[in-house]
Chains A and B, each alone.
Chain A
Amino acid sequence: MTMVADRPEGLEEASVATPEFEKAAERAASRRGFLLSLPAYAYLVLFFAVPLGIVMMYSFATRNRFGGTDLSGWNLNAYRKLGEPIVRDILFRSLWLAILTTLICLVVAYPFAYFIATRTPLIRNLMLVFVMIPFWTNFLVRNYAWRVLLGNDGLFTNISEALGLGERELLFTTSAVVIGLVYGFLPFMVLPLYASIERIDLSLVEASRDLYASGFQTFRRVLLPLSMPGVIAGSILVFVPSLGAYVTPEILGGAKTTLLGSYIVTQFLTARNWPVGASLSFVLMAVMLVATLVYFRTGGRNL
């Protein structure tokens, strides 16, 4: 008799699997599963859940005069501070830039994803590799590359000059940040869009055209509704990291366009106002949580 799984203890050797044996085997399997995933759980609890709890604690604390934090006397002062014009502006600017980035990504990625999805398998895979090639280079490095492209003597200024549009200063502007964000997060839009378009039966497009729909009507009435799961997934995958983006605005943005990520860092490191930094982090996470929930609710629904 060969045994694949460990025999549960306390059971006599039997030639058939009795219900008791099966139950015990199931319990043993789930115990093994738990033990195997324990390292991952431990890691997450230790380095994610616990620090998160600490951040939450700090968000209800008070900054003292010496730049330290008093952990006694819980209050909502840090959250109230988010209503102040300067913080509110940063919040709205970040939201606006994240939405703008998401929309641009959507408009750029959709035709591209459709194009990939309608190619032969070989070309399809090749193009998907192209989409992923940027990931082979570090994100930071790629942002610095944009600095060169957008800079004073960079490609963009040169083109703009050559076209007679005058010397356009792009670096350290909001536009530069949006360009950088779109560049950085475009693949996160392309891939889910591709996945959902690829699942659509293309004879539906033909049926729509056959039923007197123009190309645009076919997109509007057939393709877009059927690829909605991909649109939502991609939008959230771009929106969430754009909202909290730190590296790109730091490298490509100017001092005048502080965004949430940078502001939080400033609160912690420069202003030494940990409660405000912590409360902002939590508000940000709440927005992302809502977005993620939306994603799972709609992404899981099958059309």
Chain B
Amino acid sequence: MSDRGDHQVSEQIAAVKLTAITKRFGSVVAVDNVDLEIADGEFFALLGPSGCGKTTTLRMVAGLEFPTEGSLKIFGDEAGTLPPNRRPVNTVFQDYALFPHMTVEANVAFGLKMQRVAKHEITGRVQEAISLVRLEGLEQRRSRQLSGGQRQRVALARALVNRPKVLLLDEPLGALDLKLRQEMQGELKALQREVGITFVFVTHDQEEALTMADRIGVMNEGELLQVGTPAEIYEHPVNRFVANFIGQTNLLDASVVSNDTVCLANGVHIPGKSDLLVGTRVAVCLRPERAGMHPPEEVPADQQSVVGRLESVTYLGNALVYTVVLDWVRLEVRRENQPGGYRPHVGEEVAVSWTLDAISVVRA
């Protein structure tokens, strides 16, 4: 497991520390009692479906919303009610929010001008920021004369030129098309390593979060459900929502029998570790790529299995996805497209199998 994250937090002052933060809009609770520490230098993703409170959380750090309750610290300083212009953070807005009446250069220089940085220093730092995001030659353009990717870079340069202690990014890649988005994922990550600033970004795209972030916080309905490295979140989701939201997954309804046994909904007891109370309703989370598939009578002895009928096969080129139907659940199994191997036909009886370390037991 990755060692970035947790131990850093305890050693030094957190870049951002939320303690029991709640934000209400009227009677609507947008963010519900969130505790979160983001370490200095970390690339942190707030992940969740739209309306889950991730953007509100980010906006509270930026100072664009004020928390209803709780404490918000930026590098140890209480910042809960400071206006945005008095916080050492800068934001890359979702639609970039570039000033349409200014050139690229003037956009980038804006923050420094407002801070009354000396003129000659502004010129140098603006040039530096523009070359950092590789926009040389476009200094005199206006934002409407730029492509989506270029606008995004201007927004980045405009924020980074101020050397913020924390850079906040609100769905930074949301407005870009797929190919550009994948390109920018790598670039953002490289950029973050280069400047060494704490990045906190908000996304609803789990793949983006997994690819870029050192740690991810998963939110739903205002609550922060789980914080961890991509591997922790993917392999040990805390509940059904997280398991479902991050990647494809099969969820088999079950209940806890003992701390290493669960009872599947079809009445079969299988090994499954959990520290939940006996009788708790849980789900066994089995990732499609971790499931095996065998003829029903040839399941290896060290594996658990359920038997069902193969309903369909989806050909993806590099992989095949098999849909297996049982009378109480429908499972997906993903196999790499390799020569040889077991290739059952639609309608056949097949066993879907797994080893103990392939599954995790999560709260239902």
Interface set of A (CB-CB < 8 Å, partner B)? 201, 203-204, 206-214, 217, 221-222, 225-226, 303
A207:B85 contact, CB within 8 angstroms: no
Q: Confirm or deny: B57 has a beta carbon within 8 angstroms of a beta carbon on chain A.
A: no
Partner of B97, one of A206, A212, A213, A221: A206
Interface of A, helix, strand, loop or mixed by DSSP: helix
Q: What residues of chain B lie closer than 8 Å to A213, measured between beta carbons?
A: 85, 110, 114
Residues of chain B from 58 to 104 with CB closer than 8 A to chain A in the complex: 62-64, 83-85, 89-91, 93-95, 97-101
Pairs A–B under 8 Å by Cβ, sample size 19: A201-B95, A201-B97, A204-B97, A206-B91, A206-B93, A206-B97, A207-B93, A207-B98, A207-B99, A208-B114, A209-B84, A210-B64, A210-B159, A211-B90, A212-B114, A213-B85, A214-B114, A226-B101, A303-B101
Return B117 CB to nearest CB of chain A, in Å: 10
Partner of A211, one of B64, B101, B158: B158
Chain B, residue nearest A217 (CB): B114
A212:B100 contact, CB within 8 angstroms: no
Q: Confirm or deny: B148 has a beta carbon within 8 angstroms of a beta carbon on chain A.
A: no
Q: What residues of chain A lie closer than 8 Å to B89, measured between beta carbons?
A: 210
Interface set of B (CB-CB < 8 Å, partner A)? 62-64, 83-85, 89-91, 93-95, 97-101, 110-111, 114-115, 158-159, 162
Q: What residues of chain A lie closer than 8 Å to B99, measured between beta carbons?
A: 204, 207-208, 222
* Residues A206 and B64 in contact in the complex (CB < 8 Å), given A212-B162, A214-B85, A303-B101: yes
Count, A-B residue pairs, CB within 8 A = 62
* Residues A210 and B101 in contact in the complex (CB < 8 Å), given A217-B114, A221-B110: no
Return B153 CB to nearest CB of chain A, in Å: 15
Q: What residues of chain A lie closer than 8 Å to B91, measured between beta carbons?
A: 206-207, 210
Alpha-carbon separation in the docked complex, A221 to B114 (Å): 10
Q: What residues of chain A lie closer than 8 Å to B114, measured between beta carbons?
A: 208, 211-214, 217
Q: What residues of chain A lie closer than 8 Å to B110, measured between beta carbons?
A: 208, 211, 213, 221
Q: What residues of chain B lie closer than 8 Å to A209, measured between beta carbons?
A: 63-64, 83-85
Return B156 CB to nearest CB of chain A, in Å: 13
Return B62 CB to nearest CB of chain A, in Å: 6
Alpha-carbon separation in the docked complex, A212 to B90 (Å): 9
Q: What residues of chain A lie closer than 8 Å to B98, measured between beta carbons?
A: 207
Chain B, residue nearest A200 (CB): B100
Alpha-carbon separation in the docked complex, A201 to B96 (Å): 11
* Residues A225 and B101 in contact in the complex (CB < 8 Å), given A212-B85, A212-B114, A212-B115: yes
Alpha-carbon separation in the docked complex, A225 to B106 (Å): 14
Report the 6 A-B pairs with minimum CB-CB distance, sorted nearest first. Answer: A211-B111, A207-B97, A212-B114, A203-B97, A209-B84, A213-B114
- 17 other A-B residue contacts (CB within 8 Å) besides A217-B114, A303-B101: A201-B95, A203-B93, A203-B94, A203-B95, A206-B91, A207-B91, A207-B97, A208-B110, A210-B62, A210-B89, A211-B85, A212-B85, A212-B111, A213-B85, A213-B114, A225-B101, A226-B101
Alpha-carbon separation in the docked complex, A211 to B114 (Å): 7
Partner of A303, one of B62, B64, B95, B100: B100
Q: What residues of chain A lie closer than 8 Å to B85, measured between beta carbons?
A: 209-214
Alpha-carbon separation in the docked complex, A213 to B82 (Å): 13
Q: What residues of chain B lie closer than 8 Å to A217, measured between beta carbons?
A: 114
Q: What residues of chain B lie closer than 8 Å to A225, measured between beta carbons?
A: 101
Chain A, residue nearest B110 (CB): A211
Alpha-carbon separation in the docked complex, A203 to B158 (Å): 15
Q: What residues of chain B lie closer than 8 Å to A211, measured between beta carbons?
A: 85, 90, 110-111, 114, 158-159, 162
Alpha-carbon separation in the docked complex, A27 to B233 (Å): 70
Chain B, residue nearest A213 (CB): B114
Q: What residues of chain B lie closer than 8 Å to A207, measured between beta carbons?
A: 91, 93, 97-99
Alpha-carbon separation in the docked complex, A221 to B93 (Å): 19
Return A109 CB to nearest CB of chain B, in Å: 21
Choose among B85, B101, B158 the residue with the greatest number of A CB atoms under 10 Å from its CB. Answer: B85
Return B303 CB to nearest CB of chain A, in Å: 53
Return B146 CB to nearest CB of chain A, in Å: 16
Alpha-carbon separation in the docked complex, A58 to B95 (Å): 60
B95:A210 contact, CB within 8 angstroms: no
